[in-house]
Chain A
Amino acid sequence: RKEVEQDPGPFNVPEGATVAFNCTYSNSASQSFFWYRQDCRKEPKLLMSVYSSGNEDGRFTAQLNRASQYISLLIRDSKLSDSATYLCVVRRGSTLGRLYFGRGTQLTVWP
């Protein structure tokens, strides 16, 4: 079983739509959780960390469910510039510095 699993999509949504991505992780000892964003032909960049109580950054909301071992990302009022691949990333407690990446979910926002 893969460490981190995501629906690859693609998700195609109109501008202004709300879209949600889920991600599951296999190791219950995982301690840190992130969403990274990767634009076409560019390197991944940190979008936001995911905290146990859930957190929001503008139009983006991240949630963590430890009991079910899944993480979600909600994007409200989608913009054309949100088109990218979103990577779910997890760190296990025993792996100093090492992060485990999902394969990514592709989002296209159309006008």
Chain B
Amino acid sequence: DVKVTQSSRYLVKRTGEKVFLECVQDMDHENMFWYRQDPGLGLRLIYFSYDVKMKEKGDIPEGYSVSREKKERFSLILESASTNQTSMYLCASSDGIGDHNSPLHFGNGTRLTVT
């Protein structure tokens, strides 16, 4: 069974802090993703990566950066946290091209509050 693990379930940070959200998957998946989910807005893609050291901007990359130094680990970085980054953050991974044989597998999320 695919396991995607996010390092924290709940996180509270102060405005201006640098925040690291970590995600690890154990199935040797090539693709990894960071989403945020907000009421009424659904899931929005922040960044994704198709391979080690590769990254692509999603729909809302502003204020975020990512790091993928190893295949199994994809980190999301909030350079200077702001209150509008309070959200649920979901990491996901998949193998292949995203067809019927390679759905997304999600971690159980990190609920980040920035005060």
B and A form one assembly: yes
- Chain A interfacial positions (CB closer than 8 Å to B): 8, 31-32, 34, 36, 42-46, 49, 51, 87, 89, 91, 95-99, 101-104
CB distance from B109 to the nearest CB of A (A): 6
In the bound assembly, the distance between CA atoms of A103 and B89 in angstroms comes to 15
The answer to whether B99 touches A46 (Cβ under 8 A) is no
The answer to whether B50 touches A96 (Cβ under 8 A) is yes
Using CB atoms, name the residue of chain B closest to A93. B97
B94: which A residues are within 8 A, CB to CB? 97
CB distance from B73 to the nearest CB of A (A): 17
8 nearest CB pairs, A to B:
A103-B42, A43-B106, A97-B31, A97-B98, A49-B100, A101-B43, A46-B103, A91-B98
- Chain B interfacial positions (CB closer than 8 Å to A): 30-31, 33, 40-43, 45, 48, 50, 90, 94, 96-100, 102-104, 106-109
- DSSP class of B's interface residues: helix, strand, loop or mixed? loop
B45: which A residues are within 8 A, CB to CB? 98
The answer to whether A96 touches B43 (Cβ under 8 A) is no
The answer to whether B42 touches A102 (Cβ under 8 A) is yes
The answer to whether A104 touches B100 (Cβ under 8 A) is no
B104: which A residues are within 8 A, CB to CB? 36, 44, 46, 89, 99
